[in-house]
């Protein structure tokens, strides 16, 4: 199988499809990280709770997420939701099918939340215990201490990890092509079907993922260095 410029020129006629896939990938990643953060925070609070059943539920959930393939999770969520909810045939921006986008975003968020909950828990546990004791000595309740003292510092510590999770989700969103979400990989498959060209659409998809992930990772690294420098002052 040979790679040719002629094939690339034929593939690039479908540039609007790749552009749509790019938009879907970015939007899916943003929604996933937002929902995943909320879920991860809840799971982290459960794992730090003094209530045994809450800690157990959090532990079981995280282990299920980590020990099962993401593709299987996406398929289960898709068939589960579409079996329960009759999604209307609605398209966001004219080409993002809501009935496929929502199950994809939820399944990715459930997966991301399971992984990132440990990051949040570690960030909270990493705060000096002396600050908690000082806050309590000033008459602050446990909830006030967590809200005003611990969580703000923990969020600062875990922000780089969540930014890196965004890069990870951009790449892992390609799994959602199995349920027909028209992100970059799915659009590459559509171009393959339309042109009967196998490799070149995949190279274009790879280039788009790189253009999304590499600059984002460099920006994250820059802010990580700035944050470390500010902490050392």
Per-residue pLDDT of 12-49, as tens digits, reads 999 999 999 999 999 999 999 999 999 999 999 999 88
Query: What's the rounded Cα separation, in Å, for the pair 56 and 41?
Result: 16
What pLDDT is attached to residue 210?
A: 95
Q: Is the dihedral of CA 80, 91, 180, 102 positive or negative?
A: negative
Q: What is the mean pLDDT of each run of 10 residues along the chain (233 residues)?
A: 83 94 95 93 90 94 94 94 87 87 95 91 80 76 77 79 87 94 94 92 95 89 73 57
- Output the pTM of the full model: 0.87
What pLDDT is attached to residue 1?
A: 61
Closest to 65 (Cα-Cα) out of 13, 118, 17, 131: 118
What pLDDT is attached to residue 11?
A: 93
What pLDDT is attached to residue 3?
A: 79
Q: Whole-angstrom distance between the N-terminal and C-terminal Cα of the chain?
A: 57
Closest to 15 (Cα-Cα) out of 207, 191, 194, 176: 191
What pLDDT is attached to residue 59?
A: 93
Query: What's the rounded Cα separation, in Å, for the pair 149 and 154?
Result: 9
Residue 110, domain extent: 5-232
Whether residue 94 contacts residue 65, with contact meaning beta carbons closer than 8 Å, is answered with no
Looking at the 3D structure of the chain, how many domains does it have?
1
What pLDDT is attached to residue 203?
A: 95
What pLDDT is attached to residue 148?
A: 76
CATH number of the domain residue 225 falls in = 1.10.3720.10
| Tens digits of residue pLDDT in 197-219 | 989 999 999 999 999 999 988 88
Whether residue 188 contacts residue 204, with contact meaning beta carbons closer than 8 Å, is answered with yes
Query: What's the rounded Cα separation, in Å, for the pair 153 and 123?
Result: 8
Alpha helix locations (H) across 48-97?
A: 52-66, 70-84
In the chain, what percentage of residues exceed pLDDT 90?
57
């Amino acid at each position: 199988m040979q790679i040719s410029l002629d094939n690339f020129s034929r593939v690039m006629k479908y540039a609007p499809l790749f552009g749509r896939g790019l938009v879907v990938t970015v939007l899916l990643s943003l929604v996933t990280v937002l929902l995943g953060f909320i879920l991860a925070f809840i799971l982290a609070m459960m794992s730090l709770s003094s209530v045994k059943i809450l800690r157990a539920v959090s532990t079981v959930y995280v282990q299920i997420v980590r020990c099962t393939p993401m593709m299987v999770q996406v398929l289960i969520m898709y068939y589960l939701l579409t079996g329960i909810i009759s999604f209307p045939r609605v398209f966001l921006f004219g080409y993002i099918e809501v009935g496929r986008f929502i199950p994809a975003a939820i399944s990715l968020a459930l997966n991301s939340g399971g992984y990132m909950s440990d990051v949040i828990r570690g960030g909270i546990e990493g705060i000096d215990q002396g600050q908690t004791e000082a806050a309590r000595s000033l008459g602050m309740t446990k909830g006030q201490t967590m809200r005003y003292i611990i969580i703000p510092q923990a969020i600062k510590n875990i922000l780089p990890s969540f930014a890196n999770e965004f890069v990870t989700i951009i790449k892992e969103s390609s799994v959602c092509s199995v349920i027909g979400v028209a992100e970059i990989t799915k659009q590459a498959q559509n171009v393959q079907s339309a042109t009967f060209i196998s490799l070149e659409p995949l190279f274009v998809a790879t280039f788009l993922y790189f253009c999304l992930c590499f600059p984002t990772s460099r920006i994250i690294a820059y802010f990580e260095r700035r944050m470390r420098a500010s902490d050392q002052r």
